[in-house]
Amino acid sequence: MAALTVAIGEKSFPALGAAARRHVLGSLRFTVEAGQTVVITGPSGCGKTTLLNIVAGLDPRFEGRIEMPEVTRIGYVFQDPRLLPWRTVEDNLRLVLDGEKEEIARRIADVLAEVGLADAQQVYASRLSLGMARRVAIARAFVVRPTLLLLDEPFVSLDEPTAARLRRLLLDLLATHRVTTLFVTHNLREAIMLGDRLIFLSRSPARIVSDVVVPLDRAARTSEAAIESFRTRLGELPALLEQGLTEPTS
Amino acid sequence: MARSLTGIGLATTEDAAFPAARGRRGLIPVLSVLLLFGLWYLMALLAADPQLMPGPVTVLARMAAEARSGELFFHLGTTLARVAASFTIAMLVGTAAGLLMGRRRLADELGGPWLVFFLNLPALVTIVLAYIWIGLVESAAILAVALNKMPNVTVTIREGARALDSGLSEMATVFEVPFGRRLRHVLLPQLYPYIAAAARSGLALIWKIVLVVELLGRSNGIGFQIAIFFQFFDVAGILAYALAFILVVQGIEWGILQPLERRLTRWRR
Ligand SMILES: Nc1ncnc2c1ncn2[C@@H]1O[C@H](COP(=O)(O)OP(=O)(O)OP(=O)(O)O)[C@@H](O)[C@H]1O
Ligand SMILES: [Mg+2]
């Protein structure tokens, strides 16, 4: 059985006030194998976050089905950090953890060291910079040892060295833990580096424009040249995507 | 001309963020209280009738006498116990109802008219009816007071419940945070400002109503004492008891509410 089956017939948001009904997702069908990382990309507002929310079980108001194994632990990095500002970094992680005290403390310390926040453990989340808050949100998604990982543009607004480090970290984590992952991004290089597969969505009502396998090995994924050469092989697609991004919606 | 900004130095604690205010803090309120007592003293002097308009010295002396005899503490304690009981009931029930109404449309529509009814029901009517229906007993007194405060708590907490951050709720749902932990770390911290507001206005309102309840149907407490002093036109006694209670309520504000609030809002920038 696939680790994740998405079979959405339609997703619309009802009319509210002067805003008309929005048909956001069209027919959207794909499966993700266990341990596979699927990158979802598409124009802004096409429904990527909506799709992740549906998969996470946060939005049942859609037509269709989502299937995953009975026991699925979800780690979700939302588009905004969503930390508890009134709790410390440590307590924000403790919120999502169960188990023995020392074990929890160890896991928190480990994951914070991995995202480079070992010295921010006792800081209130309200006092973090946005980049730090994003890293805590990533740490929170990993610390629960998820079997399904959802990431919604997790590296946006980080400085490039930090983003690059976190991308490599994610690549390692995905390689060692083989977590089934849906990864939303606008950054094509990031998509190629991290994805086993790229799914390009159209403007809403979103449907799959293209579903491409990225046949690169671990070494190639950290090589600029290999990524660049794969990008050129994608041909027109990224350009189409760019158009979708920049064209005014008609 | 060039514009320049000069720093005021580094803040060492959160309080130190307003160094100018820190030096003055405590001084102005003290002066203000002294002014109040001064005016009172003058008025008593002008009235020249220690029976109807006793000065602060007379009232403080009376307070000391009542304290020595033990009367003051007995009645103060009784009233405080009633305040505490009805306050607790009003806060718990009011908060639960407010949460429910703020989160569930059906509850809001069902409870809305009730709220309007109880908000506009005069305190005196609740009290008299409670005494008639339940009897001149302690539970009637406490219920009457709690019923008077509850709708205000509900309205305030409902506001807070409506303002809850849905993003954080979604986060807690996805990560399967158990109910108790969710309540304590996600929900209540968002409600603290509303709970604090309800508690503060609640304390002020409740003790005033408790006195009326005592006056109408109890044989102890400050309200009962004041009723007796009224019969003798004993203004010094009335003021002595009122002053004692104001001191206690202010003590609760400074000793419990404010430190608690500082602790709970420490995380704010
Ligand atoms: N709760 C909602 N009610 C009504 N419309 C909504 C709601 N949430 C999202 N939408 C609409 O659905 C569309 C898709 O939104 P979504 O957030 O999924 O886009 P996205 O692909 O994640 O965009 P971005 O790349 O900018 O994050 C948008 O047009 C948005 O206005
Ligand atoms: Mg989005």
Nearest residue on chain A to B173, alpha-carbon basis: A58
Asked if the model's pLDDT at residue A93 lies above 70, the reply is: yes
Rounded to 5 degrees, φ, ψ at A206 are -70, 135
User: Is any atom of ligand 1 closer than 6 Å to the C-beta of A13?
Assistant: yes
Rounded to 5 degrees, φ, ψ at A108 are -65, -45
Q: What is the A76 CA–ligand 2 centroid distance (Å)? A: 13
Pairs of CB atoms within 8 A across A/B: 55
Q: Cα distance from B170 to chain A (closest Cα, Å)?
A: 7
pLDDT in the model for residue A204? 82
CB distance from A74 to chain B under 8 Å? yes
User: In terms of C-beta density within 10 A (0-12 exposed, 13-18 middle, 19 or more buried), how is residue B79 classed?
Assistant: buried
User: Considering CB atoms only, which of A74, A80, A85 is closest to B174?
Assistant: A74
Q: What is the A83 CA–ligand 1 centroid distance (Å)? A: 21
**B267 and A124: CB-CB below 8 Å?**
yes
CB distance from B122 to chain A under 8 Å? no
Where do the domains of chain B lie? 1-46, 56-268
The rounded distance, in Å, linking the Cα atoms of B28 and B238 is 28
Element (H, E) at A46: none
Architecture category of domain B56-268 in CATH: Orthogonal Bundle (1.10)
Residue B136: HSE in the Cβ half-sphere, 13 Å Cα cutoff: 7
CB distance from B180 to chain A under 8 Å? no
**B174 and A58: CB-CB below 8 Å?**
yes
Element (H, E) at B234: none
Rounded to 5 degrees, φ, ψ at B121 are -75, 120
Q: Cα distance from A61 to chain B (closest Cα, Å)?
A: 15
Residues in chain B predicted with pLDDT less than 50, given as ranges, are none
* pTM across the whole model: 0.81
Residue A104 burial (CB count, 10 A): 16
CB distance from A58 to chain B under 8 Å? yes
Where do we find the tokens 């005016």?
A: B39
* Model confidence pLDDT, tens digit, residues B4-26: 787 777 766 655 555 555 556 67
User: Is any atom of ligand 1 closer than 6 Å to the C-beta of A205?
Assistant: no
* Model confidence pLDDT, tens digit, residues A212-224: 998 888 888 888 8
Domain annotation for chain A: domains and CATH numbers: 2-72+147-242 (3.40.50.300), 84-145 (no CATH)
- What mean pLDDT is predicted for residues A240-250? 49
The rounded distance, in Å, linking the Cα atoms of A13 and B111 is 29
pLDDT in the model for residue A116? 87
Element (H, E) at B79: helix B71-103
Distances (CA, A) of A188 to A131, A174, B189: 21, 18, 40
* Model confidence pLDDT, tens digit, residues B23-42: 566 788 889 889 999 999 99
pLDDT in the model for residue A240? 61
Is residue B31 classed as helix, strand or coil in its secondary structure? helix
